[in-house]
Structure 1
Amino acid sequence: MGIYDGIILCSDMDGTMTNTRGEISARNAEAIRYFQKNGGLFTVATGRPPYHPEKFSDIFVCNTYIVALNGSMIFDPKSREFIEKHPLDESAKYDIKKIMETFSDVGQVQIHGEEGHFAQQDGEDADSFLGRINERMFDIMFIQNREKTARLKDIVPKEFPGYKFCRGWSEGLEMFSKNGGKGNSVMKTKALTGSRLAVTAGNYDNDIEMLLMADIGVCVRDSSPDVLAAADIVTVSCNNDPIAVIIDELRKEKPFK
């Protein structure tokens, strides 16, 4: 038996696995390989599309299901099949249009669809933009400066309670299915793999749900204030190999004690 048998570690990518230069350190990568070799399941829970981790395939690979688009998809990198998908209903276009036209703080809108990525062009109105989208939608991004994003975060979810909203970064408010969310999908992945312990690592608001729902939720030291409050454990910054630190801690009989 491996020392990490029964443990699944799900990490956010940007600003958690990767440092401020967007790189995965050699120490983090080496620790992931060691963790996997000794029985652990390592994967990512990201706001990005399911194939994004493959950009780092020369450094690390996930050995279990990938949680993508803020939990709107669960993807099996081995079989190349989707285990779960949580698209928005076609009727969501009406609400997206209403948000675009009601709130002057909204800047550009981008949408992750089932296959493609759609970006609103300069001067393009809501009808023209949404009319171009001919596939199921999974993640809607309202992009504007951080002050406007903060205001939208406080107002829009109250007006549209049928969706989940969160900030994926300081200048982006994201909208997706109530059935999605990193927390829901990480816990589904824990169940699918029969893991006894789910550990999550993150740094921003879209990670809060999985930090709260996991058996152990860890955030990096340079996380947003709400994330620092939600995490069970605060570890080193993203520039100081946090994944390696977490994996080393999980070797202990009573980790993080």
Structure 2
Amino acid sequence: MGKYTGKMIISDLDGTLIPRGGAISPENRAAIADFVAEGGRFAIATGRTPEAAAGYVEGLPINAPSVFFNGAMLYDWVQKKVIKTLPLTAGDENDLWPKFARKALQDFPEACLEVYTAENCHIISPEANDDPRLPNEFYSYGHTDLGQLTDTTKTPWLKFFACDKHEHLEKYVVLAEKMGVAELANGFYSEDNYYEFVAKDVSKGSMLAFIREQLPGIEIIACGDYLNDNEMLAAADIGIAPANAHEDTKKIAKHIGCAVEDHLLAWIVKNIA
């Protein structure tokens, strides 16, 4: 038994645990190590795939179920296995998604459009449109013809992602509403120029219920900085946003911590946990 036994911290990555474009600070690493050594559980919650997250969190003592694809996957980091997936598509009832993707390719010729399955990131838009972040990521991705992904019974989609100018994404959202796919999904901005769809009622926050099933009685402290973190902060026992979080996210949080650049996780371990 340690002083943090019975407590869990689950953290978003970009803008929360990691300054955007940066790396996890030694101060945050030391605080997380101390938290776990004293009985705490630590997990991450991200829109990334497990493979993509691995390059950022290497060496961290992640010892609790973690959330990927913005809530579409729960993953056991220790055993390296998927616990649960909640697909965006699951067969004939969602055949609208390939139709929407084809229409988006036509109407938004500058967009980078990505279909995420449990195994891969499939870029269905032209290579010239690729998100500039891709070469710096720690995961494999490939350009795939949309026609190879239309059998959603065989290849369920976990997430559909668009990167484009914000003014284009506003029209993209209108198209999703017009075609009826928005009703089938949870759609949200994860950055000003990123818009994502996961399954209806799926979010980082919805996965906390499944984490509680895995770890009965655990007190969950969640931290995040952007709109896709709002449900997680609300569902946690204690929600924390960094000082430089999105204003709407700070409204959800129970506590406002320091700026991400000032080692937010170290602040949480010292002041909240």
- Seen in structure 2, the aligned counterparts of structure 1 residues 57 and 209 have a Cα distance that, compared at 3 Å, is closer
- How far is 1:114 from its partner? 1.6
- Seen in structure 2, the aligned counterparts of structure 1 residues 246 and 157 have a Cα distance that, compared at 3 Å, is farther
What TM-score do you get using the length of structure 2 for normalisation? Answer: 0.82
What TM-score do you get using the length of structure 1 for normalisation? Answer: 0.87
**Which residues of structure 1 form unaligned runs of 5+?**
252-257
Q: Match for residue 114 of structure 1?
A: 118
Query: Take 2:46 and 2:193, find their aligned partners in 1: how far apart are those partners?
Result: 17
Count of residues in Structure 1 that have an aligned counterpart in Structure 2: 248
Query: Map of 1:80-159 to 2, 5 A cutoff?
Result: 80-87=80-87, 88-91=89-92, 92-98=94-100, 101=103, 104=107, 107-122=111-126, 129-133=145-149, 135-150=155-170, 152-153=172-173, 156=176, 159=180
Contact 1:157 1:164 in 2 (8 A): no
Query: Take 2:96 and 2:122, find their aligned partners in 1: how far apart are those partners?
Result: 17
- How far is 1:58 from its partner? 4.1
Contact 2:23 2:56 in 1 (8 A): no
- How far is 1:130 from its partner? 2.2
Deviations 1:210-257 (A, max 9, x none): 011111111111112221222121111111100110111134xxxxxx
Q: Match for residue 46 of structure 2?
A: 46
Deviations 1:64-93 (A, max 9, x none): 111111111111122222111111223435
Large movers: runs of 4+ above 6 Å: none
Q: Match for residue 218 of structure 2?
A: 196
Query: Take 2:98 and 2:10, find their aligned partners in 1: how far apart are those partners?
Result: 30
Q: Counterpart amino acid of 1:142?
A: A
Query: Take 1:211 and 1:152, find their aligned partners in 2: how far apart are those partners?
Result: 27
Contact 2:36 2:61 in 1 (8 A): no
Q: Match for residue 197 of structure 2?
A: 175
- Seen in structure 2, the aligned counterparts of structure 1 residues 108 and 233 have a Cα distance that, compared at 3 Å, is same
Q: Match for residue 6 of structure 2?
A: 6
Q: Counterpart amino acid of 1:207?
A: D
Contact 2:114 2:125 in 1 (8 A): no
Contact 1:153 1:166 in 2 (8 A): no
Query: Map of 1:12-91 to 2, 5 A cutoff?
Result: 12-87=12-87, 88-91=89-92
Taking every aligned residue pair, what percent have the same amino acid on both sides?
23
SS at match of 2:232: helix
- How far is 1:167 from its partner? 1.2
SS at match of 1:173: strand
Which of 251, 260, 267 aligns to 1:229? It is 251
Q: Match for residue 219 of structure 1?
A: 241
Q: Match for residue 254 of structure 1?
A: none
| Cα RMSD after superposing both structures | 2.4
Q: Match for residue 136 of structure 2?
A: none
Contact 1:8 1:195 in 2 (8 A): no
